[in-house]
Amino acid sequence: MRIVDARVIVTCPGRNFVTLKLVTDAGLTGVGDATLNGRELAVAAYLGEHVAPVLRGRDPARIEDTWQLLYQGAYWRRGPVTMSAIAAVDTALWDLKGKVAGLPVYQLLGGRSRDGVTVYGHAAGETVDEALTDVARLVDAGYRAVRVQTAVPGLSNTYGVSADARTYEPAGSVPETTWSTPRYLTHVPSVLAKVRAEFGPELRLLHDVHHRLTPIEAAGLGRALEPYGLTWLEDPVPAELPEGFRLIRRHTTTPLAVGEVFNSIWDCRQLITEQLIDYVRTSVVHAGGITHLRRIFDLAALYHVRSGSHGATDLSPVCLAAALHVDLSIPNFGLQEYMPHTAETDAVFPHTYSYADGYLHPSEEPGLGVDIDEELAARYPYRPAALPVNRLEDGTVHSW
């Protein structure tokens, strides 16, 4: 069998997605997500100009060799654009391998290690009461784990809060946001206290700091949240400085989850091997595909670190479908983020994964159980959209 075409499909059913579709001379196809929020065309160009020409004529069965060819063979290694492109190729090749074998991909990864993939949903609100209502919506829908975000009093807008949390799409929403760490730190513990008081000790609570604190600020927040027993505090600080997490660890037992912006095992290595985090959030689409993500999770398993893959709506249903096959099979699964896509997006990406009672279940059909409807995708042209820039109240640029 040979790859005869590598199509890069950019579509915007409400938000931009980039998908790679590989076509073989046997008529089989495989798909991979290549979406990098706000930088979609960079990945599309990398795939179209530098990867597709290399793939044509290759044996799709050679997944590892293709991965190494695109990683080592490119000279310029790592980075979100390169690794998202490699991820799309890798994911599409696993999709093809499943179809050739007549098996769902999780069966090629070692089979089931659990009955379903426990997911967490997003609850948000301008006010704590709105957030409590949103938590109740998710609990009523069967979710066992909920991320809680609210607006910060005194700030015009806050990460993770929109009119409808379910379709939170930060790209193209607002060009700039304003941030105040003091206002935030004053507010957040009372929010989690109220949620815990309302919903009791069983519900698994998470909160995303979104890279905005210093290590000592994060240490103080972690300690303040200890009475509320969070499952994880996410992205407490920008993660370029792994040593910074030693300081957080010295002061608090609140578990930490990091990694959605990571794109290779090298980004995660020190945080994992020094046990500075408890969950690693790397995703199929941004961390080199199924092949590389398995390596990251296998390293994590040696150090009691569990998976907690990113799954916001700017990762397409192709990525989510692939994530579920990995989630179902690895021994150290933790949680899978799940923000349901819109009906418009689901129509462009027909899939057979399903949600029931707090779990997602991947497809049993051969491959990943997802595809892209190219004709429908063509009806949604690319729409320029960038993520917001965040500034402090005095105008200083700050992590968004």
Catalytic residues: 159, 210
Given a contact cutoff of 8 angstroms between Cβ atoms, the answer to whether 3 and 24 are in contact is yes
Which amino acid is located at 366 in the chain? P
Burial class (CB in 10 A: 0-12, 13-18, 19+), 201: exposed
For residue 190, CA distances in Å to 185, 287, 363 come to 10, 35, 41
Residue 170 is a binding residue for ligand CS2 (CB under 6 A): yes
Distance CA 188, CA 177 (A): 18
Stretch that binds Mg ion, among 74-82, 205-213, 266-274, 383-391 (CB under 5 A): 205-213
Candidates 337, 341, 349, 353: give the one binding ligand CS2 (CB under 6 A).
Answer: 337
Rule CB under 6 A: which of 209-238 touch ligand CS2? 210
Residue 37 is a binding residue for ligand CS2 (CB under 6 A): yes
Look at residue 312 and give the partner it binds from ligand CS2, Mg ion, none, a contact being a CB closer than 5 to 8 Å depending on partner kind. Answer: ligand CS2
Residue 169 is a binding residue for Mg ion (CB under 5 A): no
Q: Minimum CB separation from Mg ion for residue 211, in Å?
A: 8
Which amino acid is located at 46 in the chain? Y
Look at residue 217 and give the partner it binds from Mg ion, ligand CS2, none, a contact being a CB closer than 5 to 8 Å depending on partner kind. Answer: none
Q: Residues 6 or more apart from 59 whose CB is under 8 A from it?
A: 1, 2, 3
Measure the CA angle with vertex 321, ends 317 and 323; round to 5°.
Answer: 115
From the list 112, 91, 110, 35, the residue with the least C-alpha distance to 292 is 91
Question: How is the beta sheet containing 176-179 ordered, strand by strand?
Answer: 176-179, 389-392, 397-398
Look at residue 33 and give the partner it binds from ligand CS2, Mg ion, none, a contact being a CB closer than 5 to 8 Å depending on partner kind. Answer: none
Q: Which is nearer to Mg ion, 3 or 261 (CB)?
A: 261
Residue 267 is a binding residue for Mg ion (CB under 5 A): no
Distance CA 187, CA 383 (A): 36
Look at residue 337 and give the partner it binds from Mg ion, ligand CS2, none, a contact being a CB closer than 5 to 8 Å depending on partner kind. Answer: ligand CS2
- CB closest to ligand CS2, residue no: 37
Q: Which is nearer to ligand CS2, 109 or 151 (CB)?
A: 151
Candidates 314, 323, 328, 367: give the one binding ligand CS2 (CB under 6 A).
Answer: 314
Rule CB under 6 A: which of 247-276 touch ligand CS2? 260
Q: Which is nearer to Mg ion, 196 or 210 (CB)?
A: 210
How many Cβ atoms from other residues are within 10 Å of residue 216's Cβ?
Answer: 14
Chain contacts with ligand CS2 (rule: CB under 6 A): 37, 170, 208, 210, 260, 310, 312, 314, 337
Chain contacts with Mg ion (rule: CB under 5 A): 208
